Amino acid sequence: MLTVATGNKAVAAAVKAAKPAVVAAYPITPQTEIVEQIAEYVTAGEMDARYIPVESEHSAMTACIGASITGVRSFTATSSHGLLYMHEMLHWAAGARLPIVMANVNRALGPGWNVWAEHTDAFSQRDTGWIQLFVSTVQEAYDTTLMAFRIAENTGILLPVMVNLDGFVLSHIMQSLETVEIGDYIPPMVLPHRIDTGNPAGYGTLTGPGDHFKFRWEIEKAMRNSPAVIADAEEEFAMRFGRKYGPVDEYLCDDADVLIVSMGTLGKEAEVAVDNLRKEGIKAGSLRIRWFRPFPELDISDRDLVVLDRGYSFGFGGVLTDSIKSRYRDSSLFSVVAGLGGQEVTYDDIAEFVRNRRMGEEYWFGVDA
Amino acid sequence: MFEIRIHSRGGQGGVTAARLLAMAAFLDKKHATAAPFYGAERRGAPVTSFVRIDSEPIKIYSQIRSPNLIVVLDASIMDTVDVLQGIQKAGTVLINSPHPVDLPGVKVLTIDLTGIALAVDLVVSGSPILNTPVLGALARMGVISRESAEAAIRDMFSDERNVKAAEAAYKELVL
Amino acid sequence: MAEIPKEEYLEKCTTACAGCTSSLTLRYVLKAAGPDTVLVVPACCTSILQGIYPNTSFSVPVYNIAFAAAAACASGMSEAFASMGKKTNVIVYAGDGGTIDIGIQALSGALERGTDFLYICYDNEAYGNTGMQRSGATPMGARTTTTPGGKTDAKKDLDRIVAAHNIPYQATATPAYPKDLYEKVKTALATPGPSFIHILAPCPPGWRIASDMSVTVGKLAVKTGSWVLWERKYGELRISSPSKSAMKKRAPLREYLSVQGRFKGISDSAVNELEQAIEKNIAQLAKEEAGEC
Ligand SMILES: Cc1ncc(C[n+]2csc(CCOP(=O)(O)OP(=O)(O)O)c2C)c(N)n1
Ligand code: SF4
Ligand SMILES: [Mg+2]
């Protein structure tokens, strides 16, 4: 069905279609619409889920953990400080190998209070063992949320998945949305280690130095399996519903001399910059990273890279820049820190970054002279 | 690309008007996006919404800088906000007002949307609803088709007074 | 009884909604506290109504802190002032969500440790900052954006949770009775150790009332016994005079509910439960005041 929806509404519609048994969530700007919409679906009887109005995000994630370990599908959504308040339990969810799906509406962190888009919230969870996907349109938010359940619950993975969408810019924009009949796209959830009183086991018991690392390695093994599983979920999605996705979204990259590498909505804005730069004879392309963890293989050899970073690791550098550099040490790269806390970045600004790129250097948009 | 900026006050329906407009454009087989800009303000504060309509998919997320059309749902906003900011040379301003308004250098259309809403008793908790009548005016201006305006309204509201008010605005607007 | 001073520490340029009684409360609180005061504010409507950087609408320092963290922050601040020999008032000004839900752990810890501070919870019975979702303080039957059919759980009894910490001073108030509120803030600040004041703060958009009705609705809350004004000093409870007179002949609860859009369509059974809760609360308070508990 075709309709007009916000990014938040698209996520809620996908969750409704995925039929989780338990949703536990806590409101926070700019995610609230997801929670409110789901509460409304449940109250109206359109969604047969238990909705738990918890008292904090720590409890939201923990309630999802409690639900998931019994073998049922669970979902939550948050943003910014909410995501940070969950941090302990994010490690827990991944460590306990629970296929929880969460939408995170990317927002800056205080102080001072700022409710606008930034990726630092998600970047701060980089090492929790969550699969992290970043989307750039309302349709992609819907489609990726559906895929997230299939990916998370794959028995070769069993890791939680976070779908990231830019606060306000995407969470509140209205674009066209085509919803689908998902059929058996998401198979029933089977959790091999679910709580079963017929087969009692201890969960998370004291694990000594001789064993702990083995469980960590299992997480990494699942992460290493995940590219194939995510790709399969994307292919199957394209086959059934006609929309194609991949680890990156490439725009005019094949013959490009310079690639704009970015995440989220900046990646779409960058495509407009590419069109304009090409009119001037600058062969630019846009490479939007969709999978942040696992980090995808990139075909970036012999090209200048202009990396747009919406999050920063103080004392080191841009977080996306860091991921690219540590994989491709010799790649020459211009790191641009732009869009923090909702800072407006237009396609003209992005084109300027490309025109004035200084390879090997870093540039803070709006601060550097 | 046709770019529209809507000025209203929180709670007046500017955001819904943007949504209806996008929906109608979409029914016209065009591409559209509608985006509210939320500041940190509370209810009653000025709110700006942005609508883009194009025959091609729209990739731009940054705010509209030079709109073709500016819609002012509450004329009192003009006392504190420069509603004409960035308007294109051949741009138009549509103002909800019972009286003609004179603004230098731009084409101004006025229509009494409040009066139209009151006439068909389109009032919710004491405030006249402006978001559906304004769609009629925009249809008259050719921004969207009359049929799509009506269909978009029906898609969102079951109360027939909304369609009636839009029809009245369509007929009343003098171009 | 002392007059409420004319000095203002909250400017008129706040970005609060028209008829906001939470910002009205704050005006009285600051008048009672005076300039040697620091406010600690977790995420809530008060974080927004200060205005946007580089402005602020307050003329005392305001320390904004994370949502769950206000009481812990005040603990550190209060000890630090004490270590410097300063008598600066440390006042937490927090919403019901930041107190009763996400912040209750930090609050309990600070009360138990005997932190010398005043904790004020202004209770608009929902999450106002984020657009009126339910909180643990939302009364049964009230509609919020996450309880579109009306809340099915009862309001959490914050005051008895706090009372269980046996702190030196505890009170309830509402800005519909400003003198009562002012006096209580004065007493709280004059009492060493932790003090706690729970303030009912009618909220026009959240309660779906006209903005000029918020004080009237606050009065109705007291007259119907939905909100009882009292104070407890070192374990001695006294019901405050507006509630004393209200209890002689309580106004019917429906008068309070029917003026608020959030209770539209409330079921008879929910009204009954609310009524029973009121009666139980009043009976318990009266018993305690009479020394019968
Ligand atoms: C950890 C965390 N979760 C959620 C939020 C979002 N948030 C900010 S204020 C607020 C509600 C505050 O409600 P209350 O304490 O009752 O104060 P009010 O807004 O009603 O004044 C919420 C949910 C946040 N800032 N931090
Ligand atoms: S939502 Fe309610 S509490 Fe918040 S500023 Fe508005 S009136 Fe005050
Ligand atoms: Mg509140």
What are the tens digits of pLDDT across the range A279-292?
A: 999 999 999 999 99
Q: Which two tokens stand for residue A163?
A: 């779908």
Residue C16, domain member (yes or no)? no
Residue-level pLDDT at B42: 57
Q: Which residue minimizes the CA distance to atom 1 of ligand 2?
A: C128
- Does the beta carbon of C203 lie inside 6 Å of ligand 2? yes
Beta carbons of C48 and B45 less than 8 Å apart = no
Nearest CA in chain A to B59: A268
Do residues A347 and A279 touch, judged by C-beta distance below 8 A? no
Beta bridge partners of B31: B54
Residue-level pLDDT at C15: 78
What's the CATH number where C129 sits? 3.40.50.970
Please report which ligand is nearest the Cα atom of C205. 2
- Lowest-pLDDT range, A351-355, C51-55, C207-211? C51-55
How many Å lie between the alpha carbon of C145 and the closest alpha carbon of chain A? 6
Radius of gyration, alpha carbons of chain C: 18
How many Å lie between the alpha carbon of A208 and the closest alpha carbon of chain C? 31
Read off the pLDDT of residues A87-141 as tens digits, 9 standing for 90 and up.
999 999 999 999 999 999 999 999 999 999 999 999 999 999 999 999 999 999 9
Residue C156, domain member (yes or no)? yes
Neighbours of C63 (CB within 10 A): 15
Cα angle vertex C53, ends C49, C56, to 5°? 50
Among residues A131, A122, A123, A121, which one has the least CA distance to residue A97? Answer: A131
Beta carbons of A174 and B38 less than 8 Å apart = no
Whether pLDDT at A302 is above 90? no
Pocket residues: Cβ below 6 A from ligand 1: A 27-28, 57, 81-82, 85; C 43-45, 67, 95-98, 124, 126-130, 135
Do residues A162 and A40 touch, judged by C-beta distance below 8 A? no
How many Å lie between the alpha carbon of A98 and the closest alpha carbon of chain C? 25
Enter the ipTM: 0.94
Task: Specify the ligand 2 atom closest to the Cα of C45.
Answer: 4
pLDDT band at B43 (very low <50, low <70, confident <90, very high): low
- Lowest-pLDDT range, A47-56, B109-118, C1-10, C99-108? C1-10
Q: Which one-letter amino acid corresponds to residue C111?
A: L
Quote the domain boundaries for residue B123. Answer: 2-172
pLDDT above 90 covers a percentage of chain A that reads 96
How far is ligand 3, taken at its centre, from the CA of residue B19, in Å? 29
Beta carbons of C146 and A27 less than 8 Å apart = yes
Higher pLDDT, A361 or B44: A361
- The secondary structure of chain B, three-state, reads CEEEEEEEECCCCHHHHHHHHHHHHHHCCCEEEEEEECCCCCCCCEEEEEEEEECCCCCCCCCCCCCCEEEECCHHHHHCCCCCCCCCCCCEEEEECCCCCCCCCCEEEEECHHHHHHHCCCEECCEECCCCHHHHHHHHCCCCCHHHHHHHHHHHCCCHHHHHHHHHHHHHCCC
Cα–Cα dist A54/A284, whole Å: 48
Cα–Cα dist A35/A8, whole Å: 9
pLDDT band at A356 (very low <50, low <70, confident <90, very high): very high
**Cβ partners under 8 Å of residue B47, min gap 6:** B7, B8, B9, B10, B12, B14, B15, B36, B37, B38, B39, B41
Quote the domain boundaries for residue C141. Answer: 21-289
Q: Which two tokens stand for residue C270?
A: 């929910």
Let me know if the fold of A2-181+209-241 is the same as that of A249-364: yes
Whether pLDDT at C1 is above 60? no
Residue C112, domain member (yes or no)? yes
Q: Which two tokens stand for residue C283?
A: 């009976």
> How do the domains of chain A map onto residue ranges?
2-181+209-241, 249-364
Do residues B135 and B149 touch, judged by C-beta distance below 8 A? yes
What's the CATH number where B100 sits? 3.40.920.10
Residue-level pLDDT at B44: 65
**Looking at chain A, how many residues does it have?**
369
Whether pLDDT at B45 is above 80? no
pLDDT above 70 covers a percentage of chain C that reads 99
Residue-level pLDDT at B40: 52
Task: Specify the ligand 1 atom closest to the Cα of A85.
Answer: 1
**Cβ partners under 8 Å of residue A31, min gap 6:** A8, A77, A78, A79, A82, A103, A104, A105, A171
In the stretch 48-107 of chain C, residues with CB closer than 8 A to chain A read 48, 53, 64, 66-68, 101-102, 104
Q: Across all residues in chain C, what is the average pLDDT?
A: 96
pLDDT band at C126 (very low <50, low <70, confident <90, very high): very high
Do residues A73 and A21 touch, judged by C-beta distance below 8 A? yes
Nearest CA in chain C to B39: C52
Q: Which two tokens stand for residue C65?
A: 């802190």
Which CATH number is correct for A2-181+209-241, 3.40.1390.40, 3.40.50.300, 3.40.50.970, 2.60.40.350? Answer: 3.40.50.970
Domain A249-364 has CATH 3.40.50.300: no
pLDDT above 70 covers a percentage of chain A that reads 99
Question: What is residue C133's DSSP assignment?
Answer: B
Name the one residue in this structure whose structure tokens are 């009705």: C213
pLDDT band at C56 (very low <50, low <70, confident <90, very high): confident
How many distinct structural domains can be found in chain B? 1
Which chain B residues touch A170 with a CB distance below 8 Å? 61
* The model's pTM: 0.96
Orientation of helix C214-223 relative to helix C21-33, angle to 10°: 80
**Cβ partners under 8 Å of residue B107, min gap 6:** B90, B91, B92, B93
Taking the Cβ of residue B124 and every Cβ of chain C, the question of whether any pair is shorter than 8 Å is answered with no
Nearest CA in chain B to C209: B125
Q: Which of A135-149, A296-310, C47-61 has the highest mean pLDDT?
A: A135-149
How far is ligand 1, taken at its centre, from the CA of residue C91, in Å? 18
Beta carbons of C15 and B42 less than 8 Å apart = yes
How far is ligand 2, taken at its centre, from the CA of residue C132, in Å? 9
pLDDT band at A328 (very low <50, low <70, confident <90, very high): confident
pLDDT band at A67 (very low <50, low <70, confident <90, very high): very high
Cα–Cα dist A294/A230, whole Å: 10
Read off the pLDDT of residues C127-182 as tens digits, 9 standing for 90 and up.
999 999 999 999 999 999 999 999 999 999 999 999 999 999 999 999 999 999 99
Residue-level pLDDT at B170: 97
Task: Specify the ligand 1 atom closest to the Cα of C67.
Answer: 26
Please report which ligand is nearest the Cα atom of C202. 2
Read off the pLDDT of residues B58-73 as tens digits, 9 standing for 90 and up.
999 999 999 999 999 9
Q: Which residue minimizes the CA distance to atom 4 of ligand 1?
A: A28
Question: Which chains have 3 or more CB–CB distances shorter than 8 Å to chain B?
Answer: A, C
Do residues A112 and A86 touch, judged by C-beta distance below 8 A? no
The distance in angstroms from the start CA to the end CA of chain A is 49
Taking the Cβ of residue A271 and every Cβ of chain B, the question of whether any pair is shorter than 8 Å is answered with yes
Residue-level pLDDT at A113: 96
Phi, psi of B10 (to 5 degrees): -50, 130
How far is ligand 1, taken at its centre, from the CA of residue B50, in Å? 28
How far is ligand 2, taken at its centre, from the CA of residue C48, in Å? 10
Cα–Cα dist A321/A343, whole Å: 19
Residue C67, domain member (yes or no)? yes
Name the one residue in this structure whose structure tokens are 């779908």: A163
Whether pLDDT at B133 is above 90? yes
How many distinct structural domains can be found in chain C? 1
Residue-level pLDDT at C51: 85
How far is ligand 2, taken at its centre, from the CA of residue C203, in Å? 5
pLDDT above 90 covers a percentage of chain C that reads 90
Whether pLDDT at B41 is above 60? no
